[in-house]
């Protein structure tokens, strides 16, 4: 819908608008009101160059698109009924809990394997473990290719799917080749469009899901969904959206908890929402509340850092990993919240 600055376009202005719009296969239909005339664009009004050219005309005030810009990820798209299956779970049909170390310690493979068994025993549906890590300081441990073997060993021993973060194309190809089931795109790369495109292309038709974290810079809901569109447009629609806290932080927490955007996401996209309470609050003692809040908001699951012996962990684990005992209780309570949510089927856009 094109809204001019003056109540009506002049004949010359109208002709100029029509000629631009027609170049993109669209038509213009004036809608005459009492005081002003607005101009509906019929056709695919998502053509960004067309919109930019119209907005560049000095007599135009606004261009309000009715169509969604998300051709694949929109809740009304052809993929609206697309289901993502990871391991034994179809997302949306049961809570999906990913749990495990922040970082795999390549010097202590047994610790990760022990945790992986404990995650399974606690009821997790997938295991996480950072092979490569985005660290604030270049001198901090950056991860190690050798940890991939440990991650895959945990998959073989438990039979559960595994998740790890990739930050570049080299890591992407190692992870795809090794058989990682869920590729995590971290908050720092959430808007790295070349990487998102590549991830979509390299994981297309390979039964690999992508967990896309929300950028920490308070990424607007539409920007977050648009980033997931890159992965789907690359060829892989198996994308989960992961709010993980934003900055500036809330005093006392690592980030600003943002699980509350879950219903807003669910109104716009069919993509499952898996919240990360661990990086959001950043302290093991706050994680259960944040995880339960996420589930109450309608999340399809959570990704939680958990470790069989947090003080022996590296990366974030000593401060924010919960123990398998706490994880087990939490997973039981998450199942209860899942049931309680059914009382609010109309209010919460959940698929239960």
Of the candidates 62, 195, 40, which has an alpha carbon nearest to the alpha carbon of residue 132?
A: 195
Based on CB atoms, which residue is closest to ligand PEP, 4 or 130? 130
Q: Which residue is nearest to ligand PEP (CB)?
A: 186
Residues in contact with ligand PEP, counted by CB under 6 A, come to a total of 11
Cα–Cα distance, 230 to 201 (Å, whole number)? 10
Name the binder of 213 from Mn ion, ligand PEP, none, CB < 5-8 A by kind.
Answer: ligand PEP
Based on CB atoms, which residue is closest to ligand PEP, 95 or 277? 277
Question: Residues 102, 122, 196, 239: which binds Mn ion (CB under 5 A)?
Answer: 102
Q: How far is the CB of 47 from ligand PEP (least distance, A)?
A: 33
Q: How far is the CB of 30 from ligand PEP (least distance, A)?
A: 48
Pairing of strands 96-103, 301-305: parallel
Cα–Cα distance, 338 to 297 (Å, whole number)? 10
Interaction mask 199-228, ligand PEP, x per CB under 6 A: --------------x---------------
Q: Does 186 interact with ligand PEP (rule: CB under 6 A)? A: yes
Based on CB atoms, which residue is closest to ligand PEP, 160 or 185? 185
The 3-state secondary structure of the chain reads: CEEECCCCCCHHHHHHHHHHHHHCCCEEEEEECCCCEEEEEECCCCCHHHHHHHHCCCCEEEECCCCCCCCCCECCCHHHHCCCEECCEEECCECEEEEEEEECCCCCHHHHHHHHHHHHHHCCCEEEEECECCCCCCCCCCECCCHHHHHHHHHHHHCCCEEEECCCHHHHHHHHHHCCCEEEECHHHCCCHHHHHHHHHHHCCCCCEEEEECCCCCCCHHHHHHHHHHHHHHCCCCEEEECCCECCCCCCCCCECCHHHHHHHHHHECCCEEECHHHHHCCHHHHHHHHHHHHHCCCCEEEEEECCCHHHCCCCHHHHCECHHHHHHHHHHHHHHHHHHHHHCCCCCCCC
Which stretch, 50-58, 82-90, 142-150, 181-189, contacts ligand PEP (CB under 6 A)?
A: 181-189
Q: How far is the CB of 129 from Mn ion (least distance, A)?
A: 10
Q: Does 216 interact with Mn ion (rule: CB under 5 A)? A: no
Based on CB atoms, which residue is closest to Mn ion, 102 or 239? 102
Q: Which of residues 75-114 bind ligand PEP (CB under 6 A)?
A: 102
Based on CB atoms, which residue is closest to ligand PEP, 135 or 345? 135
Interaction mask 267-306, ligand PEP, x per CB under 6 A: ---------x--x---------------------------
Q: Does 129 interact with ligand PEP (rule: CB under 6 A)? A: no
Q: How far is the CB of 267 from ligand PEP (least distance, A)?
A: 23
Q: Which residue is nearest to Mn ion (CB)?
A: 102
Q: How far is the CB of 213 from ligand PEP (least distance, A)?
A: 4
Q: How far is the CB of 277 from ligand PEP (least distance, A)?
A: 11
Do residues 231 and 75 make contact, with C-beta atoms less than 8 angstroms apart? no
103 contacts: CB under 8 Å, gap ≥ 6: 129, 130, 133, 141, 143, 313, 314, 315, 316, 317
Name the binder of 266 from ligand PEP, Mn ion, none, CB < 5-8 A by kind.
Answer: none
Q: How far is the CB of 96 from ligand PEP (least distance, A)?
A: 16
Q: How far is the CB of 317 from Mn ion (least distance, A)?
A: 8
Q: How far is the CB of 186 from ligand PEP (least distance, A)?
A: 3
Q: Does 187 interact with ligand PEP (rule: CB under 6 A)? A: yes
169-178 and 147-158 helices, crossing angle to 10°: 30
Please report, as ranges, the residues that interact with Mn ion according to CB under 5 A.
102, 316
Please report, as ranges, the residues that interact with ligand PEP according to CB under 6 A.
102, 130, 134, 165, 186-188, 213, 244, 276, 279
């Amino acid at each position: 819908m094109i809204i001019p600055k003056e109540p009506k376009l002049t004949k010359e202005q109208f002709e100029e608008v029509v000629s631009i719009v027609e170049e993109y296969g669209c038509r213009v239909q004036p809608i005459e009101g009492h005081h002003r005339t607005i101009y509906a664009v019929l056709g695919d009004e998502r053509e960004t160059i067309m919109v930019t050219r119209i907005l560049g005309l000095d007599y135009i005030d606004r261009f309000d698109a009715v169509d969604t810009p998300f051709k694949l990820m929109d809740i009304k798209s052809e993929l609206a009924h697309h289901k993502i299956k990871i391991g034994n779970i179809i997302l949306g049909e049961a809570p999906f809990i990913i749990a495990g170390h922040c970082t795999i310690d390549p010097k202590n493979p047994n610790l990760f394997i022990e945790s992986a068994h404990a995650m399974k025993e606690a009821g997790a549906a997938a295991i996480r473990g950072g092979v490569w890590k985005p660290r604030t300081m270049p001198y901090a441990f950056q991860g190690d290719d050798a940890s991939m073997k440990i991650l895959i060993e945990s998959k073989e021993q438990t039979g559960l799917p595994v998740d790890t973060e990739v930050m570049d194309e080299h890591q992407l190809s190692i992870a795809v080749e090794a058989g990682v089931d869920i590729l995590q795109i971290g908050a720092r790369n959430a808007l790295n469009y070349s990487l998102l495109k590549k991830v979509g292309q390299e994981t297309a038709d390979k039964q690999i899901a992508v967990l896309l974290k929300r950028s920490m810079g308070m990424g607007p809901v539409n920007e977050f969904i648009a980033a997931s569109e890159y992965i789907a447009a690359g060829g892989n629609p198996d994308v989960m959206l992961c709010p993980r806290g934003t900055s500036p932080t809330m005093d006392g927490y690592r980030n600003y908890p943002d699980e509350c955007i879950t219903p807003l996401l669910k109104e716009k996209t069919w993509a499952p929402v898996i919240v990360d309470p661990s990086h959001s609050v950043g302290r093991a003692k706050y994680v259960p509340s944040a995880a339960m809040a996420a589930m109450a908001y309608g999340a399809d699951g959570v990704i939680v850092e958990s470790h069989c012996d947090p003080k022996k962990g590296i990366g974030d684990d000593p401060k924010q990993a919960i123990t398998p005992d706490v994880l087990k209780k939490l997973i039981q309570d998450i199942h209860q919240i899942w049931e309680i949510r059914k009382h609010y089927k109309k209010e919460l856009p959940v698929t239960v």
